[in-house]
Structure 1
Amino acid sequence: MRIALDYRPVTVAPSSGIARQVKALEQALRTLDDTEVVVFSEAPLDHPQRATALCPTWASPLEGLQRPQVRLRFERGFLPRTIREQRIDLYIATANMGLPLGHKPAGTRYVLVLHDLFQLTHRNFHRSRLKALAYRLIDAASIAWSVWRADQVWCPSQFSCSEAARLFPWARAKFRVLNNLVPSFTEAAQPLPDGVPSRYWLLVGTREPRKNMRFFLQQWQACRAKDANVPDLVLVGHASDVPAPLGELAGLHWYSGLSDGQLQALYGHAACLWQPSYAEGFGLPVVEALSVGTRVAVARGSALDEVAPPSAPRFDPHNPEQLQTVMLSLAASDTPVDPEPQHAWARRFAEPAYRRHLDTLLKGLNR
């Protein structure tokens, strides 16, 4: 079987969460017997991706691959013809949309990987309201088209499946759960970045409004005023992701552009990983923290209910009193966490389980 993967997320942002899942899916597919994996992408003419991926002959701007006109040319002018020429049995679109526009070759199956639908259901980060509205309308049409064209739609959590069925009830029978793969860190942990305090809480990912950072930082600030034991915060993101007064609070330490080894070190030394999002399609940092034995505390609702163990402290993402109660309780506790239950829970999302589930989905497609 020849399987083609949409590799554009890896080309654009190879360290992003979606790109990491695309690479994990590629590696899992390459281990299957009687399977050949081909990757499709687009890139500038001098980009190294062209050495390993099938790309259009035309140059594509790396910083503009998500623009509608660029996507349209790739999905209409390149994909249908190339899928036929390459005799692809299964084409997998990997970033919420992107299935080919045009006639579907006989015998070819399409799968859509639908990470979440927050670009339709929540306010995303855009510099202008007009741009936000335009992208919402375009994304709604693109996602609906891909859901309609797909033979199956793979979602990383039951929450995401339920949201997809709510928005596209006519496609309910297509949705399947394929939890994200969270492999063990392959690099050895590196030294902590400069300036990291000896005791800290950690947050990973701060950009989108649904990450709930304004609310979280306000409650953390209030708790610091009540109890000096509340630790500093280390945030993987940018201070510009939150309003200026909050991003500049004393006790905040912002980092970006970290290697996997540095991120692993931050997870491993943190007293707790916090995930205050009111909407998550999976929650990769939660499982990554658990995989190194670190305690996690998460907001109730969305996919965080599935990916965090029952023992994890939880709070309403809109209730300041609840969050402050959990913060003050954890700040007062110096009891070490037994890492083995954390490791055991994280193994639910490791390679053996992921590959078994993927194999089941592929066999279902071939029936």
Structure 2
Amino acid sequence: MRIGLDYRPATIAPQSGIGRQVKALEQALGAHDGTELRLFSEAPLDHPQRQSACCPPWASPLHGLQRPQVRLRFERGFLPGQLREQRIDLYIATANMGLPLGRKPAGCRYVLVLHDLFQMTQRNAHGSRLKALAYRAIDSLSIAWSVWIADRVWCPSQFSCNEAARLFPWAKAKFRVLSNWVPQATPVTSTAPPGTPARYWLVVGSREPRKNVGFFLQQWQHCRQADSEIPELVIVGQPEDVEPHLRQLAGLHWLHGLSEEHLQALYSHAECLWQPSYAEGFGLPVVEALSHGTPVAVATGSALDEVAPASARRFAPHDSQQLQAALREVAHDTDDTDHEPLRAWAQQFAMPAYRLRLNALISELEH
């Protein structure tokens, strides 16, 4: 079977969440028996990606591949012909959208990897209101087209499948769960980044409003002012992601631009990872923390319900009393945490399990 993989997310940002999932697909498909893998991407003329991927003959702006006009030229003017020429049996689009425009090549099947639908259901961070409205309309049309033309749609959680079925009930039979791959932690030998307090809680990700960081900071500050046992807080993100009065709170530390080594050290040394998001398609930081044996506390109502073990503290994302109670409980929990069950839970998202799920989904398409 010849499989084509949309490699654009890994070309643009190989260390991003989606970029890492594309590389996981590349690794797992490369090990799949009877598979011949072809990568499809865009890149500048002098970019090394052109040595390993099938790219258009024209120069493409590396940091502009997500622009609608650039995507249109690739998905309509280049991709359909290349799939026919290379006799691709299965083409996988990897970034919520991006399946070819026009008639499907004979004998070729399409899969859409749908990480989430927050472009359609949530208010995302954009430079202006006009830009936000434009991208919402364009993304909605592109996602709808890709869901329409796809033979299967793979989502990282049952929550995401259910959301997709709610928005596209006519495509309900296409949706399948392919949980994200999460690399298992290796022993951490480095300390946390300079300036990190000796005792701290951790939040990873703050940019999108759905991350709910502003609300979390308000409750954390309220509890900390009344209780000296509430630890300091480290956020991997930018202060500009929250309201000005929340950016410089006492005991709050912002970090960004971290190396992978420093990020893993943060997970390892944290007393608890907090994930207050009211909308998550998967929840990668939760599983990354668990792979280090670090306890997690999560908001209810999204994919976090699935990726966190039963032992995790849970709270309603907009309930200040529930969140404050959880903050106090975790701060005063004197029971020694057994880290091994947390690491064992995270194993279900490691590469061996990921390959089994992927192989089963591919086998379904072959029959």
TM-score band by shorter chain is over 0.9
Q: CA deviation at 1:241?
A: 1.1
* Structure 1 counterpart of 2:112: 112
Q: CA deviation at 1:190?
A: 3.2
* Structure 2 counterpart of 1:290: 290
- State the distance in 2 between where 1:155 and 1:74 align: 24
For the 8 Å contact 1:223–1:230, the answer to whether it is kept is: yes
For the 8 Å contact 2:205–2:237, the answer to whether it is kept is: yes
- State the distance in 2 between where 1:53 and 1:240 align: 37
Choose 263-272 or 343-352, whichever is displaced more. Answer: 343-352
For the 8 Å contact 2:9–2:18, the answer to whether it is kept is: yes
Unaligned runs of 5+ in 2: none
Residue type of the alignment partner of 2:60: S
- Residue 128, structure 1, aligned to residue 124, structure 2: no
Q: CA deviation at 1:334?
A: 4.1
For the 8 Å contact 1:10–1:19, the answer to whether it is kept is: yes
Instruction: Determine helix, strand or coil for the equivalent of 1:267.
Output: helix
Q: CA deviation at 1:250?
A: 1.9
- State the distance in 2 between where 1:130 and 1:234 align: 33
Residue type of the alignment partner of 2:146: S
Number of aligned residue pairs: give it.
367
Choose 222-231 or 244-253, whichever is displaced more. Answer: 244-253
For the 8 Å contact 1:230–1:328, the answer to whether it is kept is: yes
Q: CA deviation at 1:188?
A: 5.3
Instruction: Determine helix, strand or coil for the equivalent of 1:221.
Output: helix
- State the distance in 2 between where 1:179 and 1:213 align: 25
Note the 1:54-69 alignment, pairs <5 A.
54-69=54-69
- State the distance in 1 between where 2:50 and 2:189 align: 31
Q: CA deviation at 1:68?
A: 0.5
Instruction: Determine helix, strand or coil for the equivalent of 1:289.
Output: helix
* Structure 1 counterpart of 2:275: 275
Instruction: Determine helix, strand or coil for the equivalent of 1:111.
Output: strand
Instruction: Determine helix, strand or coil for the equivalent of 1:357.
Output: helix
* Structure 2 counterpart of 1:235: 235
Unaligned runs of 5+ in 1: none
* Structure 1 counterpart of 2:164: 164
- Residue 337, structure 1, aligned to residue 341, structure 2: no
* Structure 2 counterpart of 1:218: 218
- State the distance in 1 between where 2:71 and 2:187 align: 34
Note the 1:135-174 alignment, pairs <5 A.
135-174=135-174
Residue type of the alignment partner of 1:223: C
Label 1:101 to 1:24 Cα distance change in 2 as closer, same or farther (>3 A).
same
Choose 103-112 or 44-53, whichever is displaced more. Answer: 44-53
Choose 321-330 or 238-247, whichever is displaced more. Answer: 238-247
The sequence identity of aligned pairs, in percent, is 70
Choose 347-356 or 86-95, whichever is displaced more. Answer: 347-356
- State the distance in 1 between where 2:233 and 2:86 align: 50
Residue type of the alignment partner of 2:272: C
- State the distance in 1 between where 2:199 and 2:134 align: 44
- Residue 76, structure 1, aligned to residue 76, structure 2: yes
Q: CA deviation at 1:339?
A: 0.6
Label 1:86 to 1:142 Cα distance change in 2 as closer, same or farther (>3 A).
same
- State the distance in 2 between where 1:13 and 1:250 align: 34
Q: CA deviation at 1:189?
A: 4.6
For the 8 Å contact 2:2–2:87, the answer to whether it is kept is: yes
For the 8 Å contact 2:184–2:346, the answer to whether it is kept is: no
Q: CA deviation at 1:143?
A: 0.2
Choose 183-192 or 155-164, whichever is displaced more. Answer: 183-192
For the 8 Å contact 1:187–1:261, the answer to whether it is kept is: no
Instruction: Determine helix, strand or coil for the equivalent of 2:22.
Output: helix
Deviations 1:298-329 (A, max 9, x none): 00111000000011100010000110011011
Q: CA deviation at 1:294?
A: 0.3
Instruction: Determine helix, strand or coil for the equivalent of 1:327.
Output: helix
For the 8 Å contact 2:68–2:138, the answer to whether it is kept is: yes
- State the distance in 2 between where 1:79 and 1:45 align: 18
For the 8 Å contact 2:238–2:256, the answer to whether it is kept is: yes
Label 1:189 to 1:23 Cα distance change in 2 as closer, same or farther (>3 A).
farther
- State the distance in 2 between where 1:62 and 1:248 align: 35
Q: CA deviation at 1:254?
A: 1.4
For the 8 Å contact 1:189–1:262, the answer to whether it is kept is: no
